Chains A and B, each alone.
Chain A
Amino acid sequence: GAVVSQHPSWVICKSGTSVKIECRSLDFQATTMFWYRQFPKQSLMLMATSNEGSKATYEQGVEKDKFLINHASLTLSTLTVTSAHPEDSSFYICSANPLTRTSPQETQYFGPGTRLLVL
């Protein structure tokens, strides 16, 4: 089946540094990728929609200058948390929407997630 990878799987950084998270679709092309964030004991919340070759669309309340998204190719989207602070500590998950759904059963594919801890 389709696979989405994320790197790194976990990261610890100091406050004020920037952290880049990669999301890759390994065996399919995705014009659209999604970034979600999950705080402890809360549900996943959509942060932004990443479109290949164009600017990302951010959900209300998500700072676009803090969470930089680049979708440079049909298989790679990156999320950079700039000047990270402890309140940014969270679980970040990406998902990829296949370029074309080959069957009604096909849906988005989720990455394994990246756990970020900002000290």
Chain B
Amino acid sequence: KQEVTQIPAALSVPEGENLVLNCSFTDSAIYNLQWFRQDPGKGLTSLLLIQSSQREQTSGRLNASLDKSSGRSTLYIAASQPGDSATYLCAVDYGQNFVFGPGTRLSVLP
């Protein structure tokens, strides 16, 4: 069964801290892995997409890594800001379907 888990479920940090969000998946036969941001009441915003052949992707203060063999991905957020407060979802693309993690709720305190 294809499952995706995320740790921690919730995280509250003061502004300026660097933080790491973790994602684990049971089936390593992935097409790609994607990190999304979801603000309350809003749809999904794609942050980073990592192909199965890649090890990491970077966009601004965000860096995502992928270790397919161990079934893990991490999202690193540098110098966090209050505007980063949202739910971060990890989603694994198996080619014909996505499997989403439960998300990590991030609160960055000013």
Contact = CB atoms under 8 A, between A and B. Distances in A.
A10 to B, nearest CB: 9
A90 to B, nearest CB: 12
Contacts of B76: none
Interface in B1-45: 31-32, 34, 41-44
A112 B49 contact: no
A105 B51 CA distance: 7
B51 A42 contact: no
Contact of B93 (A93, A107, A113): A107
A7 interface: no
A93 B100 CA distance: 13
Contacts of A70: none
Contacts of B96: 32, 49, 97
Contacts of B41: 91, 115
B97 A44 contact: no
B34 A107 contact: yes
Contacts of B42: 112-113
What is the interface residue range for chain A against chain B? 20 to 34
Interface in A32-46: 32, 34, 36, 41-46
Given A42-B102, A43-B100, A44-B89, A104 B51 contact: yes
A80 interface: no
Contacts of B103: 43
A67 interface: no
Contacts of B43: 93, 110-113
Contact of B102 (A43, A49, A111): A43
Interface of B: 31-32, 34, 41-44, 46, 49, 51, 89, 91, 93, 96-103, 105
Given A46-B97, A97-B96, 12 more contacts: A43-B101, A46-B98, A93-B44, A95-B98, A107-B31, A107-B34, A107-B49, A108-B93, A110-B44, A110-B46, A113-B43, A115-B41
